[in-house]
Structure 1
Amino acid sequence: MWSQFHVQYPPLKRLAEENSKSFDQLTYHVTQEHGTERPYTGQYNMHHEQGSYKCVCCGSVLFDDKGKFESGCGWPSFDRAQNNKAIAYRADNSHNMQRIEILCAQCGSHLGHVFEDGPTETGQRYCVNSVSLDFEPAK
């Protein structure tokens, strides 16, 4: 797990900021301003190909198809990160809710939230905005 210092000062933050200058308004809002895309609108919500899901801002691998499942929540859902250094976690008390925000550990870009209501053995549901992801098909 990452230290609080690392969460505040991710090593690839400048790369994410530079790359985000070319993003459309929604992708910028979600990844850089901690926004949320509308449910059931993202390209990876009902996506079933084999491969890896990467951070749209810095290219770091975050999740893979083995951890993806259909949660019915309207956003892509995963039961685990690619590894324990892929995701950073931060308390999010916005909107009168207590949640855990998930960020790309390498660049600090907002991905979504993680919940303890997943249906698999991990008990986790990483609820991720599609616009925060790029997909790389398995070779």
Structure 2
Amino acid sequence: MALLLRRLRLLLREAPPGAVRGRPAGVALGARAGHGDAGSLTKHEPSLTKSEWRKKLTPEQFYVTREKGTEPPFSGIYLNNKETGMYHCVCCDSPLFSSEKKFCSGTGWPSFSEAHGTSGSDESNAGILRRVDTSLGVARTEVVCKQCDAHLGHVFPDGPGPAGQRFCINSVALQFKPGRP
């Protein structure tokens, strides 16, 4: 079963952009933004087995990042964090979100208006990927770490301007590093 799931995930990564990555209306798809040529998306974190991830992460981190879970609202350690710094992936340490783009959405999870490395609507240099998620019976846009495929949360089109995005991210999927973002 685990082998089947790995193969399915690999197939989903190679599917056409519209099948894998959600895009806000009006944003051009172009040539698989964030992928460049077929060989340019290289994972820096070696692919770990389920048992290796369990050893590396806490049970809650494993549930959220590797099994696409979510932490309860208003429970995350970074929800009210107002320090200056960078939020990294808890699995692979990739920089994901800057404190400069964090805002209080009132939803119960840390919220960001854009991913670190984003330039306008171009996320090719960001540490995240978007994927279509229909697990609740409705189409949502999942946010995963580009480097290690960790589930981070979801992005919604109801954030602050100018892009109007709200990256709703689980605290447990992040590691905060204080300092200059």
- CA gap of 1:31–1:134, structure 2 versus 1, over 3 A, is same
* Greater fraction strand: 1
Confirm or deny: 8 A CA contact 1:16 1:58 kept in the other structure: no
Confirm or deny: 8 A CA contact 1:20 1:57 kept in the other structure: no
- CA gap of 1:16–1:58, structure 2 versus 1, over 3 A, is farther
Percent identity between matched residues is 44
1:2 and 2:34 correspond: yes
Confirm or deny: 8 A CA contact 1:16 1:109 kept in the other structure: no
CA distance in 1: counterparts of 2:160 and 2:49, whole angstroms: 32
- CA gap of 1:116–1:32, structure 2 versus 1, over 3 A, is same
Give the root-mean-square deviation of aligned CA atoms.
Answer: 2.3
Confirm or deny: 8 A CA contact 1:15 1:58 kept in the other structure: no
CA distance in 2: counterparts of 1:96 and 1:119, whole angstroms: 26
The structure 1 residue matched to 2:171, chosen from 116, 126, 130, is 130
CA distance in 2: counterparts of 1:36 and 1:91, whole angstroms: 16
1:79 and 2:120 correspond: no
User: Structure 1-normalised TM-score?
Assistant: 0.89
Count how many residue pairs are aligned between Structure 1 and Structure 2: 138
The structure 2 residue matched to 1:12, chosen from 45, 60, 66, is 45
Greater RCO, CA 8 A, separation 6+: 1
The structure 2 residue matched to 1:37, chosen from 62, 65, 71, is 71
Question: Match of 2:142?
Answer: 101
Secondary structure of 1:94's partner? Answer: coil
**Based on CA coordinates, which of the two structures has the bigger radius of gyration?**
2
Secondary structure of 2:47's partner? Answer: helix
Question: Match of 1:26?
Answer: 60
CA distance in 2: counterparts of 1:19 and 1:51, whole angstroms: 26
Q: CA deviation at 1:125?
A: 0.3
The structure 2 residue matched to 1:110, chosen from 151, 156, 159, is 151
**Runs (5+) with no aligned partner, structure 1:** none
Q: Which moved more, 1:84-93 or 1:46-55?
A: 84-93
**Runs (5+) with no aligned partner, structure 2:** 1-32, 118-122
Q: CA deviation at 1:12?
A: 2.3
